[in-house]
């Protein structure tokens, strides 16, 4: 009986070691692939809005070097990105978790109370989005996580948002930039 228990424990430890080794190899491969893609696939044109109807948002994000498959914090399709972000209120500076929907067909960045998308709390139109950037100055008041805070600047407001993870923040920023058409009002 004792010998059988020891054998089971050794088998479990062996499986754990094998799984750990396999995961480490997977992480190393993903990191190398991302570094290679990052160097090759991020020209400055990636940071301009894209109005083409046939534009595939998911392919664009993947080509930018993001690990969409491993980022379970958001849902990304060829025309939409959805997920939770924590947003600072406009009048009352409190932080609230909201369900965000970036919709290339409607050309809107909307937010709701939850993912059922029944109670709309606000809409940001692509034409109003001027800039998207990381809050490197830590200007968001009492951010729940300053290292995951980014800003969406519109004509009339600065939105502070906090992502659930670093990769989710990078993906959201790249996604929102594809719709940032607000800066074009000054171009002829």
Q: Which long-range contacts (CB under 8 A, 24 or more apart) does 33-38 make?
A: 33/65, 34/65, 34/66, 34/67, 35/65, 37/63, 37/64, 37/65, 38/65
Both 108 and 148 in one domain: the answer is yes
CA 187/CA 109 separation, integer angstroms: 23
Residue 149 three-state SS = strand
pLDDT of residue 153: 94
**CB distance 66 to 74 below 8 Å:** no
Predicted pLDDT of residue 188: 47
Residues 27 and 97 reside in one and the same domain: no
Same domain, 71 and 118: yes
**Residue 162 and residue 75 in one domain:** yes
Same-domain pairing of 92 and 58: yes
pLDDT at position 48 is 60
Predicted pLDDT of residue 183: 66
Write the CA distances from 164 to 66, 83, 123, 148, integer angstroms.
15, 9, 21, 7
Does 136 share its domain with 159? Answer: yes
Report the number of distinct structural domains present in the chain: 2
Residues 61 and 140 in one domain: yes
Cβ-proximal residues to 11 (8 Å cutoff; 6+ apart), any chain? none
Taking the C-alpha atoms of residue 151 and residue 133, their distance in angstroms, rounded to an integer, is: 5
For residues 1 and 63, membership in a common domain is answered with no
Residue 36 shares a structural domain with residue 54: no
Let me know: does 130 contact 78? Beta carbons within 8 Å. no
Q: Residue ranges of the alpha helices (H) in the chain?
A: 2-40, 57-63, 166-177
User: Are residue 30 and residue 121 in the same domain, yes or no?
Assistant: no
Cβ(82)–Cβ(110) below 8 Å:
no
Q: pLDDT at position 182, please? A: 78
CATH assignment at residue 177: 2.30.29.30
Task: Say what the pLDDT of residue 125 is.
Answer: 95
User: Can you give the residue range of the structural domain that contains 7?
Assistant: 1-40
Residue whose pair of structure tokens reads 């020209």 in the numeric block: 43
Instruction: Specify whether 5 is located in the same domain as 64.
Output: no
Q: What is the pLDDT of residue 137?
A: 86
14 in the same domain as 54: no
d(CA 72, CA 49) in angstroms, rounded, equals: 25
Give the pTM.
0.72
Per-residue pLDDT of the chain (188 residues; tens, 9 = 90+): 788 888 888 888 888 888 887 777 777 766 655 444 444 443 443 456 677 778 899 999 998 889 888 889 999 999 999 999 999 998 888 999 999 999 999 999 999 999 999 999 999 999 999 999 999 888 888 999 999 999 999 999 999 999 999 999 999 999 999 888 876 555 54
């Amino acid at each position: 009986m004792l010998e059988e228990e020891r054998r089971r424990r050794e088998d479990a430890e062996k499986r754990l070691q094998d799984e750990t080794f396999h995961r480490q190899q997977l992480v190393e491969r993903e990191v190398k692939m991302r570094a290679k893609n990052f160097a090759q696939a991020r020209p400055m044109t990636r940071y301009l809005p894209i109005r083409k109807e046939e534009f595939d948002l998911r392919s664009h994000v993947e080509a930018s070097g993001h690990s969409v498959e491993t980022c379970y914090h958001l849902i990304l399709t060829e025309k939409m990105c959805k997920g939770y972000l924590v947003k600072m209120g406009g009048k009352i500076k409190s932080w609230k978790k909201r369900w965000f929907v970036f919709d290339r067909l409607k050309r809107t960045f909307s937010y709701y109370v939850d993912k059922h998308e029944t109670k709309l709390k606000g809409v940001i139109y692509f034409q109003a989005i001027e800039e998207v950037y990381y809050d490197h100055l830590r200007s968001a008041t009492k951010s729940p996580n300053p290292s995951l805070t980014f800003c969406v600047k519109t004509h009339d407001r600065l939105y502070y948002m906090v992502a659930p993870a670093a990769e989710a923040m990078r993906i959201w920023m790249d996604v929102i930039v594809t719709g940032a058409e607000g800066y074009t009002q000054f171009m002829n």
